[in-house]
Structure 1
């Protein structure tokens, strides 16, 4: 739940010329589908808007963010279709260059042909932005006069064969996603890329709700424009993991997978990766009103301007506790290690990123939730220019029908 930026302060009434009926909390029956509107708002204070280093000038600002969402859900038999639109507008009172307007849309379907065959698909589109000082502008966000905006369309599908009670179950998945920055200058064109993904998992029940799992995947990453035509960043990733999923009790669920990953570049001069990858997560609910989550993983990510790729390892823990029926708190801590790899890097770049968050939420009414939160983030790097400390405090609200 890190970085709860959502929105500002009122509730919008949705009208229609057709007769509508409030079906249940938060839903409007539109005679064929349910309409679920909501509005989230935030008022934040940020002491380092552009993630500047200690030696650089810091921009501080109050930020107002408003995020309306509309969801339409239609069910027929055991199948369901969902359409979601969410907008987000951020206004920086002391830094207009950081203002943004984002749009998120997706259409998803869940289909169950019979108890052995299930199919899910999702088509999404994001009209988003990178904050100044993030991604490719890390270390020089102050030099930009506006945020970097992009379009990100994508589609994914998953097919499952095997009932929940069968000894074995197969899951096949495929997806395609593009990242296209709006700026057409060379510095932005070399960031545009596409991801083509295929993979599958096999689950074999060992005992009760414990399963052996084998996971294999392939991903092709193609860049639209190469910064160096003689040495493009196009590459392939192949990964094979094995492990377990379990639900030992109603209060404890988890998974752990470890295996081998290879990232190889089309250009022979690029530095490939071969090594261990892992994914693990544990959810422990000692009481119905208290939940602890642990997660860790290792992966390779695309470079953001330095090196051939980024080797990352991350560790996360969070605790959510409902002290009263309407009052809950959340504490979260995450640590990330990023090592930039590449033959052309003359001196090693290693980043350690730490994030911590404290949040409290109170459900004033069934339709109104109000919260406060504090977030601290820090990056220590062998590149002093990209190191930063950042504090965010905020008040957030969510309004539904």
Structure 2
């Protein structure tokens, strides 16, 4: 499944790219062979399948003294050996630029078109015997004032997303997002921040009652305590208010945490945690999500590394869902090994175990998949 996010970060210095006038082109290709024991995340009658994933991509990046630009195209073609109905072709097109207007002011624009799908078993909608196909377009502008190293910095963003499904209109939405952030440097290694996020989510189905407005107010900090520890933490108040009176609103505490600890030169431990509310895909009025993850990456040799990751997540379905409430607990263990044959060629082996324990037994499932992938980036 393709990523929904692109950024104006130039490629790693280890990948030189191909010169094209003032810009550089970064072509790449990834092939993955995967075996999934439960492709539909079913409680009973699991279907297993070998899957091949083909992912070509190309990126054009340029840099001038006053601006950067980034153009990206990538596609992912998935083929299921035992379930041809689940085959898919996803595509991403994106463009982003950043202008340095003055020494302190910068303006950024991003546009994106995405042709995607929802895997069967990942939503609570009726199974139509194939993935739900959808496409979206996104336009975002941002304005920042103040250098990253300045005592104070203001960051603002406004974006518009249109999402449309091919088979039905229940999930079609128009969403407007507005973000404002103030960052204040208290010391060379610590920055405090105040942030407010507002989203207007408008469902296009005429009879839908899911139209809602999200408001979030956060306070937090980023820190570079030592060369071994960096992180970001935000905590605040979150509300999700529905236009329809029959829907149940949500209000509560939300948080985000991301921390990296490097106890030794070749050892990295990443920790993340979140609490937030999201829209449902068939059951309830909203979903309260809480998750925490831990990943240990070890570089054994200059070309060989391993990662062990573990995630615990809880989803509570709020609102009018009948007499039996639903809550899901999901645990996931990820094991992977990467070997760089060349600077441009990486081999990866992975093994994942997923278990969902739901208060409604029919939503329990176990899943295991292994994969082997070969990635080339020039």
TM-score (norm 2): 0.93
Within 5 Å, give how 1:309-328 maps onto structure 2: 309-328=286-305
Q: CA deviation at 1:257?
A: 1.3
Q: For structure 1, which runs of at least 5 residues remain unmatched after alignment? A: 6-22
Contact (CA 8 Å) 1:247, 1:253: kept in 2 or not? yes
Worse-matched range after superposition: 41-50 or 162-171: 162-171
Q: SS where residue 47 of structure 2 aligns?
A: coil
Q: For structure 2, which runs of at least 5 residues remain unmatched after alignment? A: 4-12
1:366 is aligned, of 329, 336, 343, to: 343
Alignment partner, residue 49 of structure 1: 39
Q: CA deviation at 1:289?
A: 2.3
Within 5 Å, give how 1:100-249 maps onto structure 2: 100-137=88-125, 143-183=127-167, 188-227=168-207, 232-249=209-226
Within 5 Å, give how 1:284-323 maps onto structure 2: 284-323=261-300
Query: Take 1:124 and 1:4, find their aligned partners in 2: how far apart are those partners?
Result: 12
Alignment partner, residue 9 of structure 2: none
Contact (CA 8 Å) 1:226, 1:233: kept in 2 or not? no
Distance 1:240 1:43, change over 3 A: same
Q: CA deviation at 1:113?
A: 2.1
Q: Does 1:334 align with 2:308?
A: no
Q: Report runs of 4+ in structure 1 exceeding 6 Å deviation.
A: none
Q: Does 1:33 align with 2:34?
A: no
Q: CA deviation at 1:97?
A: 0.9
Query: Take 1:218 and 1:33, find their aligned partners in 2: how far apart are those partners?
Result: 36
Q: Residue by residue, what CA displacement relative to the aligned partner does 1:165-220 show, whole Å, maximum 9, x if unpaired?
A: 3221111111111221111xxxx311111211102111111122211111111110
Q: Does 1:263 align with 2:236?
A: no
Query: Take 2:14 and 2:285, find their aligned partners in 1: how far apart are those partners?
Result: 52
Within 5 Å, give how 1:338-357 maps onto structure 2: 338-357=315-334
Query: Take 2:290 and 2:42, find their aligned partners in 1: how far apart are those partners?
Result: 24
Distance 1:109 1:60, change over 3 A: same
Query: Take 1:260 and 1:251, find their aligned partners in 2: how far apart are those partners?
Result: 31
Query: Take 1:330 and 1:283, find their aligned partners in 2: how far apart are those partners?
Result: 14
Distance 1:373 1:4, change over 3 A: farther
Alignment partner, residue 7 of structure 2: none
Contact (CA 8 Å) 2:49, 2:80: kept in 1 or not? yes
Q: SS where residue 136 of structure 1 aligns?
A: coil
Alignment partner, residue 75 of structure 1: 63
Q: Residue by residue, what CA displacement relative to the aligned partner does 1:310-349 show, whole Å, maximum 9, x if unpaired?
A: 1111111111111000000111111111111113432111
Contact (CA 8 Å) 1:28, 1:35: kept in 2 or not? yes
Q: Residue by residue, what CA displacement relative to the aligned partner does 1:233-260 show, whole Å, maximum 9, x if unpaired?
A: 1010111111211111222111111111
Contact (CA 8 Å) 1:26, 1:400: kept in 2 or not? no
Q: Residue by residue, what CA displacement relative to the aligned partner does 1:283-326 show, whole Å, maximum 9, x if unpaired?
A: 11223322111111111100110111111111111111110000
Distance 1:95 1:151, change over 3 A: same
How large is the RMSD of aligned CA atoms in angstroms?
A: 1.9
Alignment partner, residue 95 of structure 1: 83
Worse-matched range after superposition: 341-350 or 264-273: 341-350
Q: CA deviation at 1:4?
A: 10
Q: CA deviation at 1:371?
A: 1.0
Q: CA deviation at 1:157?
A: 2.2
Q: CA deviation at 1:67?
A: 0.3
Counting matched residue pairs gives: 369
Q: CA deviation at 1:25?
A: 4.4
Q: Residue by residue, what CA displacement relative to the aligned partner does 1:49-91 show, whole Å, maximum 9, x if unpaired?
A: 11111xx211111111110000011211142111011111111
Query: Take 1:122 and 1:356, find their aligned partners in 2: how far apart are those partners?
Result: 35
Worse-matched range after superposition: 343-352 or 168-177: 343-352
Alignment partner, residue 54 of structure 2: 66
Contact (CA 8 Å) 1:26, 1:37: kept in 2 or not? no
